[in-house]
């Protein structure tokens, strides 16, 4: 065998390797896209959940909180707030969230103050549904601890 790499050999390695990795990338992309409905809990997406996302955006909750690791780190992670505070019961969580939002801002020393947004009952219900839906997304055990 010849010890030198010829131009033809180098070109074949380049194009062969490029083709291999392009096919690998396309295959992994197709596999990921096929798994989205299963991973995102898409079948449980309702109008109330979508409206809750709009409440989340309207009041800029992400300006202080994170959700699945995205957002500001000033206030707690909320992707698992349903698991933490709702005891996996939707009615309990909705009651908790409604009471929590109505009692803001808490006047506790050395505690961050959450503003009073004066949400309507429908906005609280929609936000609760959004947070419940979010908690059911397969997020690979994020956050790493239950308190976020």
Radius of gyration of the chain (CA): 24
Peptide bond into 130 cis (omega under 30): no
Query: What is the pTM assigned to this prediction?
Result: 0.77
Say which residues have a Cβ less than 8 Å from residue 59's Cβ, sequence separation at least 6.
117, 119
Q: Are 130 and 53 in contact (CB under 8 A)?
A: yes
Q: Are 96 and 85 in contact (CB under 8 A)?
A: yes
Q: What class, spelled out in words, does domain 43-148 have in CATH?
A: mainly alpha
In this structure, what token pair is assigned to residue 64? Answer: 């202080």
Q: Is the pLDDT of residue 1 over 60?
A: no
Residue 8 and residue 30: Cα distance in Å, rounded? 33
Residue 51 and residue 68: Cα distance in Å, rounded? 19
pLDDT 10s digits, 12-55: 999 999 999 999 999 999 999 998 887 777 888 899 999 999 99
């Amino acid at each position: 065998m010849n010890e030198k790499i010829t131009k033809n050999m180098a070109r074949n390695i380049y194009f062969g390797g490029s083709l291999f990795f392009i096919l690998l990338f396309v295959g992994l992309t197709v596999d990921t896209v096929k798994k989205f409905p299963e991973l995102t809990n898409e079948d449980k997406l309702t109008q109330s959940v979508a409206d809750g996302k709009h409440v989340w955006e309207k009041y800029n909750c992400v300006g202080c909180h994170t959700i699945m690791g995205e957002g500001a780190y000033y206030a707690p992670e909320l992707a698992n707030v349903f698991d933490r505070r709702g005891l996996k019961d939707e009615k309990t969580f909705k009651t908790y969230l409604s009471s929590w939002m109505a009692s803001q801002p808490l006047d506790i020393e050395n505690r961050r103050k959450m503003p009073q947004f004066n949400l309507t009952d429908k906005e609280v219900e929609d936000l609760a549904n959004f947070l419940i839906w979010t908690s059911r997304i397969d997020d690979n055990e994020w956050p790493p601890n239950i308190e976020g």
